[in-house]
Amino acid sequence: MPKKVLLIEDEGRLRRLLQLVLEDAGYDVKTASEGNKGIALWQAWKPDVVITDLKMQPVDGIDVLRHGNRLYPETPCIILTAFGTVTTAVNAMKQGAYDFLTKPVDHSHLIEVVQQALIERDKSQKTEHNMIGTSPEMEKVRSEIRILASTDSAVLIQGESGTGKELAARAIHAASTRSSGPFIRINCASIPRELLESELFGHKKGAFTGASKDRAGVFTRAHGGVLFLDEIGDMPLELQPKLLHAVEEKEIRPIGGGKPHAVSIKILSATNQDLEVMVKEKRFRTDLFYRLNTMILELPPLRRRRGDIKVLAEYFITRFAREFGRQEPEISKAALDMLSGYHWPGNVRELRNVMERAVLVCLEPKIKPHHLTESIQRKHKNEKMETRSSLDLVAKEQELLIAALEQCNWNQTKAAKKLNITRSALRYRLQKYGIVKSPP
Ligand SMILES: Nc1ncnc2c1ncn2[C@@H]1O[C@H](COP(=O)(O)OP(=O)(O)OP(=O)(O)O)[C@@H](O)[C@H]1O
Ligand SMILES: [Mg+2]
């Protein structure tokens, strides 16, 4: 499929000329004569690249850029500018324009810039740094990411499974001064205990059976960049003192001796467990907890920012249609309503999987409810039958939980017994409803 270029230019002759130049180069081109029409086409047609003039009435190129960047941050936007307005163009670059071209436009340079923009876009799509979402909650996350990226302090990223913690970590790296340095991720939950220490700090040859040569750990490999300790809640207690030392002193001691050496790193960690509860239960060290959570980034679950569901669904449709080389289907209102009403326990990851499947199985121009996975359809049916009483049930459950805890002086073991459930079942419910003891 030819790549789609949207050209927004108010001057009719130039618009037609550039359209011909781009079509000659093999692009599928649509044009708009003004900002508002351009934005509408951007949304409806989903071009691969946008080229926009800067000075237009009533809506100018900067507005187009701002709008597009929020909805489709992965689409490169190239600015056309008259000679002498280069400062405005530089300003546009700061707002996220991909590049700018001064008029009169050199035709072969135009094609080069468009080609380059497409290559860069594919690269950035693969690395997936773009946090999509237009809800106030996501705007807040994005602005927090910018702030967190500007310091070297450690950041703890919290949020339910699939809310985008890893994506946020990569975005912090990309926005930081360390972006040209490495981004190294280690998943503390998936590495066997006995290997974890060596993975973190490295080892000297002969340090243990099987250590046939010196090996650098992730702390050393992340030097000059960012180290992302994923699933930090699974860090074994016995390794935590050594980790604390490395985090505090930025000094690494490989297993089996060798000189301690200094590293320059920014440390990010992530978890979907409640570390504070783990600290209380002595499953996580207090000192390490305070070290890692100097700054906190909280990623809200998808059901608390339902406004993002539509934008994300459309984003994934575009992405997967492109990936599968399919014509991009639209989403029907009925399917969208179903997505919007679902509670998304698996958050954005679940939505991504649902949309991937929908694009695969949908051979019509529109995605309909039957293209969505069964769990969503079923949930939808059940929810339709639910009445207020189910809401009351939740409220009643919360009341019961609190009453039992208060009677037992917030001793969870005793409260669980009273409620005739296991302690972990109680803990699960407390986490689910966010019930905590309020300060006296
Ligand atoms: N705001 C977003 N915009 C676009 N894609 C997103 C967004 N949030 C999450 N995703 C996508 O959803 C998937 C899950 O995200 P990610 O792996 O970062 O979640 P996580 O919080 O680390 O989950 P887990 O706790 O299960 O490890 C990824 O494919 C990611 O690219
Ligand atoms: Mg993750």
Architecture of the domain whose range is 136-299: 3-Layer(aba) Sandwich (3.40)
Do the domains 4-127 and 136-299 sit in the same CATH topology, yes or no?
Answer: yes
Per-residue pLDDT of 229-241, as tens digits, reads 999 999 999 999 9
Nearest ligand, CA of residue 132? 1
pLDDT digits (tens, 9 = 90+) for 33-86: 999 999 999 988 989 999 999 988 888 899 999 888 777 777 899 999 886 666
Region label for 269, one of left (φ > 0), alpha (ψ between -120 and 50) or beta (otherwise): beta
Which residues line ligand 1 at a C-beta cut-off of 6 Å?
A: 128, 131-133, 159, 161-167, 272, 348-349, 352
Comparing 1 with 110, which gets the higher pLDDT? 110
Q: Which CATH architecture has domain 391-433?
A: Orthogonal Bundle (1.10)
Please give the pLDDT value at position 126: 47
Q: For residue 337, what are its two tokens?
A: 């309503």
- Domain 303-385 carries which CATH code? 1.10.8.60
Query: Domain boundaries in the chain?
Result: 4-127, 136-299, 303-385, 391-433
| Location of structure tokens 């002086």 | 409
Which pLDDT band, with edges at 50, 70 and 90, does 128 fall under? very low
- Ligand 1 nearest-atom number relative to CA 163: 21
What tokens appear for 28 in the block? Answer: 């599928």
Q: Which of 224-228, 247-251, 373-377 has the highest mean pLDDT?
A: 224-228
Query: pLDDT at residue 110 above 50?
Result: yes
Give the mutation target among 141, 166, 172 for probing the ligand 1 site: most ligand atoms within 8 A of CB: 166
214 versus 9: which is more confidently predicted?
Answer: 9
According to the model, what pLDDT value does residue 85 have? 66
CA of 397 to the centre of ligand 2 (A): 31
What ligand is nearest to the CA atom of residue 348? 1
Q: What pTM value is reported for the model?
A: 0.66
pLDDT digits (tens, 9 = 90+) for 174-186: 889 898 888 999 9
Reported as a pLDDT band with limits 50, 70 and 90, residue 379 is low
Cα distances (angstroms) measured from residue 440 to each of 346, 431, 433? 35, 20, 20
In the reported structure, the alpha carbon of residue 187 is separated from the centroid of ligand 1 by a whole-number distance in angstroms of: 15
Interval between CA 61 and ligand 2 midpoint (Å): 37
Report the C-alpha gap between 65 and 72 in whole angstroms. Answer: 10
What does the alpha-carbon distance between residue 113 and residue 101 come to, in Å, rounded to a whole number?
9
Does the domain spanning 4-127 belong to CATH 3.40.50.2300?
yes
Cα 383 to middle of ligand 1, angstroms? 26
Instruction: Check residue 420 and give its pLDDT.
Output: 82
